[in-house]
Amino acid sequence: MAKQIARYDINDTLYIFKQDNSERWYARFILTNHKKWLCKSTKKKDRDEAIAMAHRIFLEHEIRHENNTLVQSKRFRDVADRVIEKLEYQLEHGGGKRTQKDYIRALENYHIPYFDRTFITSIDQEAITKFCAWREKQLKRVPASSTLLTHNAAMQLVFKEAIEQKWMIAAQVPVLSSRGESGTRRAAFSDEEYDAVLEGIYESERNAHSEKTRQIRELLYDYCEIAVNTGIRPGTEMENITWGDIEIRTQKNKIQFFINVRKGKTTKYTGTRKVVCRKDVIGAIKRLRERFPTRLPSQKLFRLANGETTPQLGKAFEKVLQSNNLKDSPRGPRTLYSLRHTYITWQLLAGENTDIIVAQCGTSAAMIEQHYSHVKPEMFANSLSGVTFDKDIDAPSKAMIATREKYAKSDEKLFKEWEAEYKKRGCI
């Protein structure tokens, strides 16, 4: 059973504390006109940061309580006991399976003794990792895969019961691995961080000491813009895109871009994957077209002026990250591959359907759940907080309307030229 080893009182209704099974602080608080104390992990190791997060958690729960959207959590033992009771009832009345006895044994011998009075919503990835280490000590060996599968199934029944009873939401369920390894989150960029990356690349291009270095950094800028707006894997998938792999669909001043990914991690098994591009790829494609006016469908998209490809994009990207203090993140070091993680994170935050992201990115639903579950709560910010912000949209001025009409006509003409060129030469 976890023991409290440190405590700091913030006020009469809020304090933070540490337990011997975690390095992070927890917040415990009671809301206005609410009878029970609530507990939530701050996920912070530093005390001052934990205090700040505790205030935020308290405010969020106060808002949810006022709007009657508060999810009442339960202690692990209470939820697990309900699951065991249901399993025993099924076994006694002939509706159960033999494996259910194993689930009961796992819960009684391992999960309940360890988690006991811990709130079900406080069991995060770190808590699961700590539990796995404790379990190995109890068993005096690394558990077999079959044992882990049984334990995980039992644990999932507890989480399922908690979700059905509205004591937690699905996004709060941590990853359980049959190999005893916790799911790792993927390092990505926020909107502001990505803007800083682009600014850093632009500055590095201006300060290049040779023409080839300048071209590498110029190419890197466009490489990033296409990667972060498509979710295509940096490396083999990106590097093998040709001009003939880009398709367009136009309607007056509107255009859609598609890229056929023909070579990469999964194409051997799934064949060519057609990726739909976000509209922000248009700037990169315009710049690449201007640099390669005599392009051919068979030529690779990412080339230097002499037609050669370069293996230096990754190193150039890393230098930009380091010079702008963006290399490290709470979820590990960032690389070119973080552009793909950024795309997936942005899509999840926008509320995109997971099945669509799976098809777009050539991955699996299990991988999305394992590596990106941490962004899910933000997707439900309106329902969880009970507060929906109004969108401040200023009415466009006459001058702005005129400018938009001018650009719309220009774009319509440009896109017609691109479409004609695509039909004539096989690439835009």
Burial class for 177, CB neighbours closer than 10 Å (0-12, 13-18, 19+): middle
pLDDT at 340: 95
Residues near 155 by beta carbon (within 8 Å), at least 6 away in sequence: 111, 176
Rounded to 10 degrees, the C-alpha dihedral 245/250/253/256 comes to: -50
Mean pLDDT of the chain: 86
The pLDDT of 374-379, averaged and rounded, is 61
- What are the domain boundaries of the chain? 4-66, 76-172, 191-385
The pLDDT of 333-345, averaged and rounded, is 93
pLDDT at 181: 45
Rounded to 10 degrees, the C-alpha dihedral 338/341/346/349 comes to: -130
If pLDDT is split at 50, 70 and 90, which confidence band does 232 have? very high
Of 300, 288, 297, give the one whose Cα is nearest residue 424.
297
Q: Are 15 and 58 in contact (CB under 8 A)?
A: no
pLDDT tens digit sequence for 80-115: 999 999 999 888 877 667 788 889 999 999 999 999
pLDDT tens digit sequence for 132-163: 999 999 988 888 777 888 899 999 999 999 98
Rounded Cα distance, 413 and 405, in Å:
13
pLDDT at 71: 54
Q: Domain 191-385 belongs to what topology? A: hpI Integrase; Chain A (1.10.443)
If pLDDT is split at 50, 70 and 90, which confidence band does 365 have? confident
The pLDDT of 386-406, averaged and rounded, is 65
11 sits in which H/E element: strand 4-11
Rounded Cα distance, 67 and 62, in Å:
9
pLDDT over 70 at 183, yes or no: no
Adjacency order of strands within the sheet including 4-11 = 4-11, 14-19, 26-29, 38-41
pLDDT at 384: 59
